[in-house]
């Protein structure tokens, strides 16, 4: 089954074709992402109306480009999947509208996918993917969740953030040290130049039992450290390193606890922060020490993309699920 996937929940337009005839990474026939970062940079964050308009401009050309890269005509597609939520309502409606219209015109089944289920299943698109049960860590700009995955579609929330998501903490911390939007990846790059241990920040909520997170206090600690410092480039890198180590340690401690609670040795990680090199290394070490493994999608499939939507949609369509013809999105939606 060849499924066209469309992602437009925030500031990335993503389109992909996943073919279930070839399991693993080979099934990904083509994927393309157009990022709106430059458009929103001068505002310091995503402007919803500008995001919607840019999806309108970019989506159909990206569908054409992706089909061409996959070597497919549109009438060779067997189904359409789109992100139905959560996300910005206008941005979601663009993807849902295009997906539903294509499906209707071509008489194909279409299915709305939960954005976070897309992230959660993304690691399974890679070769040598684990089979459920496993524990998933979802770390994006909007979510930080630990989920016990008993099977596809069978998810139990083990813990989540009580305030900022991990990616949001990266972005806000970067901003307060003067890095341009979106600061997360830049802060991480800067941390690579930083001296470990010069700044030591708390590992929030690790001193008590439980699997929930809280990251908002960390940025206040960083703000105080930054204001009281010489604000040189090296100091900024050192603070970035202290911050990154605090977030990565906290995530790793909670992941290990979640594995113990779920009786599993496999941790599957996805969402934008899953692209973070130090997090990947730390979780790989932790899992190896337990005799298990940590699985990640390639970094370009950690951040928002159409491939994860095509893949999650293909699994749902194969299970016989699809939606009626109404264009329906769910801006706020628990997985």
Alpha helices in 153-264 (DSSP H): 166-176, 183-191, 216-227, 233-262
In the complex, the residues that contact ligand KG4 under the rule CB under 6 A are 140-142, 167-168, 170-171, 182, 184-185, 188, 271-273, 275-276, 303-304
**Identity of the residue, 54 or 168, whose beta carbon is nearer to ligand KG4 in the bound complex:** 168
Q: Which is nearer to ligand KG4, 79 or 142 (CB)?
A: 142
Q: Which does 170 bind (CB under 5 to 8 A by kind): Zn ion, ligand KG4, none?
A: ligand KG4
- Burial class of residue 328 in the structure, from the number of CB atoms within 10 Å of its CB (0-12 exposed, 13-18 middle, 19+ buried): middle
Note the helical H segments in 107-232: 115-121, 166-176, 183-191, 216-227
Tell which residue, 1, 28, 34, has the closest CA to residue 16.
28
Question: By C-beta, is 17 or 279 nearer to ligand KG4?
Answer: 279
Residue with tokens 């009626």: 324
Regarding 304 and contact with Zn ion (CB under 5 A), the answer is yes
| Residues contacting Zn ion: total by CB under 5 A | 2
Q: What minimum distance in Å lies between the beta carbon of 305 and ligand KG4?
A: 8
Characterize the bridge pairing of strands 266-270 and 154-160. unpaired
Q: Least Å distance between CB 300 and ligand KG4?
A: 10
Output 6 or 259, the one with its CB closest to Zn ion: 6
19 known member of a binding site: no
Maximum separation of any 2 CA atoms in the chain, in Å? 63
138 labeled binding residue = yes
- Under the binding rule (CB under 5 A), the answer on residue 144 touching Zn ion is no
For ligand KG4, the nearest residue by Cβ is 184
Q: Which of ligand KG4, Zn ion, none does 96 bind, CB closer than 5 to 8 A by kind?
A: none
Q: CA separation (Å) from 276 to 70, 128, 129, 143, 170? A: 29, 21, 20, 15, 11
**How far is 222 from 244, CA to CA, in rounded Å?**
11
* Contact with Zn ion (CB under 5 A) among 36, 140, 145, 173: 140
DSSP label at residue 124: G
Judged by beta carbon distances under 5 to 8 A according to partner kind, the member of Zn ion, ligand KG4, none in contact with residue 90 is none
CA 183 – CA 178 distance, rounded (Å):
9
Q: Is 102 annotated as a binding residue?
A: no
Is 55 annotated as a binding-site member?
no
Is 184 annotated as belonging to a binding site? Answer: yes
Two tokens at 70? 């996959």
Contacts to Zn ion by CB under 5 A: 140, 304
């Amino acid at each position: 089954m060849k499924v066209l996937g469309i992602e437009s929940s925030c500031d990335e337009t993503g389109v992909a074709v996943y073919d279930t005839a070839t399991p693993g990474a080979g099934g990904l026939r083509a994927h393309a992402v157009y990022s709106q970062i430059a458009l929103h940079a001068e505002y310091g964050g995503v402007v919803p109306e500008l995001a919607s308009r840019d999806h309108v401009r970019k989506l159909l050309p990206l569908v054409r480009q992706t089909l061409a890269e996959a070597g497919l005509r549109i009438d060779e597609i067997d189904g359409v999947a789109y992100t139905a939520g959560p996300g910005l309502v206008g941005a979601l409606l663009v993807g849902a509208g295009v997906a539903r219209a294509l499906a209707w015109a071509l008489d194909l089944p279409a299915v709305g996918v939960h954005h976070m289920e897309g992230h959660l299943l993304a690691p399974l698109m890679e070769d040598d993917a684990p089979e459920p049960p496993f524990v998933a860590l979802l770390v994006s700009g909007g979510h930080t969740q630990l989920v016990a995955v008993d099977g596809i579609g069978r998810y139990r929330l083990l813990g989540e953030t009580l305030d900022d998501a991990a990616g949001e903490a990266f972005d806000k911390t970067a901003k307060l040290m003067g890095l341009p939007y979106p600061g997360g990846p830049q802060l991480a790059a800067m941390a690579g130049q930083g001296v470990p241990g010069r700044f030591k920040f708390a590992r929030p909520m690790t001193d008590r039992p439980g699997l929930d997170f809280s990251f908002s206090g960390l940025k206040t600690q960083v703000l105080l450290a930054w204001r009281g410092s010489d604000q040189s480039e090296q100091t900024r890198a050192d603070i970035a390193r202290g911050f990154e180590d605090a977030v990565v340690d906290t995530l790793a401690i909670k992941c290990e606890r979640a594995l113990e609670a779920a009786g599993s040795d496999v941790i599957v990680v996805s969402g934008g922060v899953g692209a973070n090199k130090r997090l990947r290394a730390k979780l790989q070490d932790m899992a190896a020490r337990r005799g298990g493994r940590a699985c990640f999608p390639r970094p370009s499939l950690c951040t928002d993309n159409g491939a994860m939507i095509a893949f999650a949609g293909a699994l749902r369509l194969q299970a016989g699920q699809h939606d009626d013809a109404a264009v329906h999105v769910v801006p706020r939606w628990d997985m």
